[in-house]
Structures are given as C-alpha cells and as structure tokens.
Amino acid sequence: MTSSTTTGTPILTVQVQRLLDCASTCSADNACLVFGYSNVTSICQGYSQLQTYNGITLIFNLGSTERIFKNDQSCSRAGFDFVQKGRVCVRLFTSGYNWDDAKDRCESYNGRLIVIDTRQKLEGISEYLAGIGHGSDELWIGANDKVNEDTWMWLDGQTVDQSYWDDVILNNVDQKDLWAFNADCGRIQDSALSDDSCDVSQGYVCERTDIV
C-alpha cells in the first residue's frame, strides 16, 4: 500500500528511534512546520506545509501507524504571529497591493487573505492590529461581492455575517471615485467592515489556517 499524504513533498526524511527524536529533528530545521512519524518503519518526515480545504486540514491515507504533528512554533517559524483570541496565525503586510495581488501574495505564503468569520476572531485581529500600531489602517481581507453585488462572500465560500462587526459600511462606493459604484472588495479598519474598489492599493492581512 502506498502511503500518501497531502502534506506535500517532505523537506526531510530520516529514520529515528522514537517519535521524540523526530520532533527534535523537525525542531532543529527552521523550515519544518509539521512532521509525520511511523512507529512501524521508524521513518520521520518533515514538511513545510499542510494542505487545507475550506479550513479543514487534510491528512489522507496515513493508516494507523503514521501520525502527523504540528510544530508548536509553526506559526512564528513561518513568519506569522499567533493570536490566542480566535486562534489565528496572522501576518500583516503594510506594502500596498490591489486586492487580487494581495490575495495572490497571501497564497504565495501558503496562506490566504484573512477570513474573519467570528466575533472572537474579529476581536483577536483588531487587538493584534491595534497592538502593532495598525488598527486604523485600511487593510484588505478575504471578503468580496464580485459575483453578486451586495452578496458578500468569504474566500472559503461562506457568506459574510455582518452582525458582529463594530460597524459595517458596505455602500459600493469607491473612495477615490465616489460616482463609480463599483466597490467589490472588503477591508477592515478599526473593527469595521467596509468596501472599496478592488484596484485600490493598500496593505492586507494574511492568515495561515494549516499551522494554527
């Protein structure tokens, strides 16, 4: 039987005596964010990412002998910060990009533009951004109403619940061209959700859901 996982290509493969040895091997390698160990073959493999689908981590065909573990320091090793409230692994990028490019850039870090789908996560993110002096920035997040005007969707396919935001200003008004009525991308600023033209260049917030 072939053992395949959705963890991607291993960045390290070694045979070690115990699970703990595998953990320390992964720990010693800065790129190692998750690791798998088989009691049967004693094979230890380290990976730089886990694959996720709709926020669910996928681990296939591991059988009963191999287990996958996340390195406790995964989030910080990946260059992100772990926020306890809402349990989010987040990174702020202050350099300006349009929404599509910001989305691509998050993906290039094995993440996504942040999906803020609970009040707790909103509070965690808002406190985090305020704590690093960027609470009042206008920052792209993973919400848009590109497909159907006024139907706001998160990147993972959920509908945006507008009930728990401090303020919601989804007026389809482009801040630079007030008559354009073409604002389809979502941003956060001071715990409020607002929209602007997707072409606007601004900072953005990425998250990694695979290593929380």
160 contributes a contact to Ca ion by CB under 5 A: no
From 66, 117, 138, 184, residue interacting with Ca ion (rule: CB under 5 A): 184
DSSP 53-104: ETTEEP--S-TTTEEEEE-TTHHHHTT-EEETTTTEEEEEEEEEE-HHHHHH
183 contributes a contact to Ca ion by CB under 5 A: yes
195 contributes a contact to Ca ion by CB under 5 A: yes
173 contributes a contact to Ca ion by CB under 5 A: yes
Question: CB of residue 193 vs Ca ion: minimum separation in angstroms?
Answer: 10
- 23 vs 183 by CB, closer to Ca ion: 183
167 contributes a contact to Ca ion by CB under 5 A: no
- 183 vs 200 by CB, closer to Ca ion: 183
Question: How many residues contact Ca ion, by CB under 5 A?
Answer: 8
Residues 6+ apart with CB under 8 A from 163: none
- Give the Cβ contact number of residue 75 at 10 Å: 22
CA distance 64 to 15: 18
- 20 vs 180 by CB, closer to Ca ion: 180
Question: CB of residue 128 vs Ca ion: minimum separation in angstroms?
Answer: 24
Residues 6+ apart with CB under 8 A from 47: 7, 8, 9, 10, 11, 32, 33, 34, 35, 36
138 contributes a contact to Ca ion by CB under 5 A: no
* Beta bridge partner(s), residue 159: 153
From 104, 107, 149, 161, residue interacting with Ca ion (rule: CB under 5 A): 149
145 contributes a contact to Ca ion by CB under 5 A: yes
Contact indicator for 45, 51 with CB cutoff of 8 Å? no
Q: Which residues would be at the binding site for Ca ion (CB under 5 A)?
A: 145, 149, 171-173, 183-184, 195
